[in-house]
Chains A and B, each alone.
Chain A
Amino acid sequence: MPESSSTEHAQEKAPDKAPEKELHIAVALDGAGWHPAAWRDLPDARTELFKARYWAGLVAEAERGLLDFVTFEDAFRLQSTLLDGLDGRGDQVRGRFDAVLLAARLAPLTSRIGLVPTAVTTHTEPFHVAIGIASLDHVSGGRAGWRPQVSARSTDAANIGRRDLPELTLEDVADLANLPQRVEDLFDEAADAVEVARRLWDSWEDDAEIRDVATGRFIDRDKLHYIDFTGPTFSVKGPSITPRSPQGQPVVAALAHDVVPYRLAARAADVVFVTPHGTEHVRSIITAVREAEAYVGREGRPLQVFADLVVFLDDEPGAAAARKTRLDELDGAELFSDALVFTGTPEELADLLLEWRAAGIEGYRLRPGALPYDLEGITRGLAPALRSRGAFRSAYEANTLRGLLGLPRPASRYATPEVVAS
């Protein structure tokens, strides 16, 4: 029976929603995949992971699969199994590229898929990050996004050396709804960093460049704007040095696990990645996200809520679970993740994604357990399975990431609307 019961269920429960709306599918790329032992199955992993061609192959596969976007992880520390501090282990992937530059390297090799790098807000200059993402938008012809990330760990802070942060302990993160004030402050700073970026992205109006030979003016300076941002940890004068980019506002997406990050997302982001572990959990998370939006007084479009899942996919029933078990044994521990770990067939995953869609999820950021294997499971197994149920695109419908996500291109906040003559 091609029509899934969950879709009917959705129509019953939420008649005002459009259950036939297609899902957005993104893939989170990191190392050899999200299982720490996945590199063992990747030929020449130690050298390949640090070559452009490896990443080019992955993003090309994602684009062939018509996915909405890929994300790239980043951090100012060597990977570790410890919450804060190094573990000295050599049996897992260690070492990682700057995500914005990696995304830029892949932009000319692709034409439709969105590129969403992580950039930490805690230790970077908001001005640099803003022009980096705007430049990614220029080199990709309007396919840039940004995943701002907070870094509360002392390890990262000691590497950068600009600010001291105490060691992050299990106690600090035991109750995500009640983070220590110093951590909450970092989220506030992240919201400020995104606000600065958004103002800088708007600080050149679209028609600022005039090339007017008669007056000798290259720009109309009245269409460039100081942003005059002042906050507790930085102030930025503006305007940007980079002209307004193809999307105007690149897409901002934040991963969030509880109320403080939900509020950051509600203040700053277009898309929020959440980590539900079941359908009821989806509903409670969406309620919490909407409450966060009301709390911060979000205006305009509500957040698009994407669910994160770690996925192991095989066509043969049971094979994915067996594969994951084998990787767990190689690593010496069961895979731990903030997101639900799914093992199964592409059809089974499609069932789950549609069930959660009925509960309010609009898209997914899937974290392949092993690369490129589980990415191909997504592009060649899951995507056709969803398509056959009318839940995924059969061709790219837009040239920009905003377009793929159904977000219009906004006018600059500084542009004065045309006065209509009476």
Chain B
Amino acid sequence: MSRPRKQVHLAAHFPGVNNTTVWADPRSKSQIDFSSFRHLAETAERGRFDFFFLAEGLRLRELKGRIHDLDVVGRPEALTVLAALAAVTDRLGLAGTVNATFNEPYELARRLATLDHLSAGRAAWNVVTTSDAFTGENFRRGGFLDRADRYTRAEEFVRLARELWDSWDADALPPGGEPDGGDLFVRPEGIRPVRFEGRHFSTSGVFNVPRSPQGRPVIIQAGDSDEGREFAAKTADVIFSRHGTLDSGKAFYADVKGRLARYGREPYQLKIMPAATFALGDTEEDAAENATHIRRQQVSPQTAIAFLEQVWGRDMSAYDPEGPLPDVDPDLSEGVWGGRVPLGDRVELAAKWRALAEEKKLSIRELVIEVTGRQSFIGTPETVAARIDEFVQADAADGFILVPHLTPGGLDDFVDRVVPLLQERGVFRTEYAGTTLRDHLGL
């Protein structure tokens, strides 16, 4: 086999607003102070990561009609923080999730083009759509977007945004000293009007931000359905996937990369980066112990009960989290969560969990720890580096979006201990070769 070793791509996900972010640890710091964003971004840049990633959620999660109070909550407007991070980083890509359901293309295309200018070519947009009326209650549009329309809206949004980004020629602003540029700030014919009439959007006018350093900011997409994969194959530069095992990763990778030819694209033009968590230790035993410790921190007794309530649809506060599972069946009369996709067949799931708990003699809390995701990578830095390399060389991924469990220092160990080993293996950059995020991603 003479294929050169594939290079690993890495991104740093700012810890999110769910129970995987541990706040009851003395090392946990503010989820909103700029110093926290800055620490994680500077750590990622020290580790020569491809990009920093900020998620979004436009309504606080509710459980049983009340604001969920057990998890970290509260975050900024993503692009505003990314613009500030552009001032304290130099090469790191800056990716933000922004919802296509509750924005208009002209405005968002401007904001992304602005971020790309202000970061000298490091902007990326994770395109998501929301169909629930719950989130819509905070917006003009309100209401409910038909699920079937989610991708048509996203696709049309990105198409129009790209028309706007492309509407200024690269040389619309004549370089100083050019004979024909003397009296002109801009060549008016270098700006093309955009007329777009679609199902979801219409624009008739002229964009007002010059072409940005990347031309088009990087597009990230996270959907996993058939339509989502097709949308990504047609439109995205990066997929933020959830396929964390080697086999499912390989299947997903082959499927999505196989769709690219249909759109005249090459496999390298779409990078597949699953979300990944990790627990490190000096020995395998230490790492396993650390992983268990983190899992227990992530699933507090109250969180275990709240988790069960999502499935059972009942108030379970009277149950002992360290005791056995309830023997009653779920109440299916109403949805429990606001702002969340409902879980599948809850009766079946409850039965499965009861069986598992009985078989393994698990308490409620132990069961929840068992059935919710363990870390993607657990081991010594050597093991974890080898495993990441293995995933990438086996075409199960092009790299990973790492989700630390602590704000803001959760990536420190990885950067100090794992990144150098990936570099030694020759699969991760030791210096940035280019200046833009497209350069880092090989796009």
Contacts and interface: CB of A to CB of B under 8 A. Distances in A.
> Do A and B come from the same complex?
yes
Interface of A: 39, 43-47, 50-52, 56, 75-79, 86, 88-98, 100-102, 104-109, 123-128, 131-132, 134-136, 138-139, 141, 155, 158-162, 204, 209, 211, 213, 215-221, 224, 233-239, 241-243
B284 to A, nearest CB: 30
Contact of A218 (B69, B140, B186, B187): B69
A135 B81 contact: yes
Given A44-B176, A50-B117, A96-B209, A141 B34 contact: yes
B104 A95 contact: no
Nearest to B303: A216
Given A101-B111, A239-B60, A90 B188 contact: yes
Given A88-B188, A101-B111, A219 B32 contact: no
A52 B203 contact: no
Contact of A135 (B70, B77, B115, B186): B77
Contacts of A213: 24
Interface stretch (B83-91, B272-280, B420-428): B83-91
Given A219-B69, A237-B138, A243-B32, A108 B87 contact: yes
A91 B186 CA distance: 7
Those 10 A-B pairs whose CB atoms lie nearest each other, nearest first: A216-B302, A135-B76, A237-B137, A104-B83, A135-B80, A139-B84, A159-B205, A46-B173, A243-B74, A98-B114
Interface in B290-316: 300-303
A216 B300 contact: yes
B201 interface: yes
Contacts of B173: 46-47, 50, 95
A50 B116 CA distance: 10
B379 interface: no
Interface in B198-223: 201-210
A128 B77 contact: yes
Contacts of B185: 39, 45-46, 90-94
A138 B69 contact: no
A241 B176 contact: no
A105 B74 contact: no
B87 A109 contact: yes
Contacts of A86: 206
Nearest to B198: A161
Contact of A123 (B73, B107, B111, B205): B107
Contacts of A243: 32, 74
Contacts of B209: 95-98
B142 interface: yes
A97 B118 contact: yes
B288 interface: no
Contact of B139 (A88, A125, A138, A160): A125
B132 to A, nearest CB: 13
A140 to B, nearest CB: 8
Contact of B69 (A50, A104, A220): A220
B67 A101 contact: no
Contact of B208 (A51, A56, A76): A76
Interface of B: 23-24, 32-34, 37-38, 57-60, 66-67, 69-77, 79-81, 83-84, 86-88, 102-104, 106-107, 110-111, 114-115, 117-120, 137-140, 142, 168, 173-176, 181, 183-188, 191, 201-210, 300-303
A211 B60 CA distance: 17
Q: Which of A123, A138, A158, A215 has the most CB of B within 10 A?
A: A138
A104 B80 contact: yes
7 contacts: A76-B106, A98-B114, A104-B84, A105-B83, A141-B34, A162-B104, A216-B303
Contacts of A136: 80
Contacts of B174: 46
A307 B106 CA distance: 33
A216 B77 contact: no
A98 B71 contact: no
Contacts of B202: 161
A126 B80 CA distance: 15
B67 A221 contact: yes
A241 B74 CA distance: 5
A76 B107 contact: yes
Contacts of A46: 173-176, 181, 185-186
Contact of A233 (B110, B140, B175, B210): B140
Contacts of A239: 60, 67
B110 A98 contact: yes
A106 B188 CA distance: 30
B208 A101 contact: no
B208 A52 contact: no
A32 B300 CA distance: 56
B81 to A, nearest CB: 6
A88 B33 CA distance: 45
B204 A158 contact: yes
Contacts of A100: 80
A217 B114 CA distance: 39
B208 to A, nearest CB: 5
Nearest to A130: B77
Nearest to B138: A127
A128 B140 CA distance: 11
Contact of B103 (A128, A155, A218): A128
Contacts of A217: 69-70, 302
Given A90-B187, A139-B84, A220-B69, 19 more contacts: A46-B181, A76-B110, A78-B207, A97-B209, A98-B110, A101-B115, A105-B83, A123-B104, A125-B139, A127-B139, A132-B79, A134-B76, A135-B80, A138-B81, A216-B302, A218-B71, A239-B60, A241-B59, A241-B60
A61 B153 CA distance: 44
Contacts of B24: 211, 213, 216
A88 B193 CA distance: 11
Nearest to A75: B208
Contact of B183 (A91, A135, A159): A91
A39 B182 CA distance: 11
A104 B140 contact: no
Nearest to B187: A90
B120 A218 contact: no
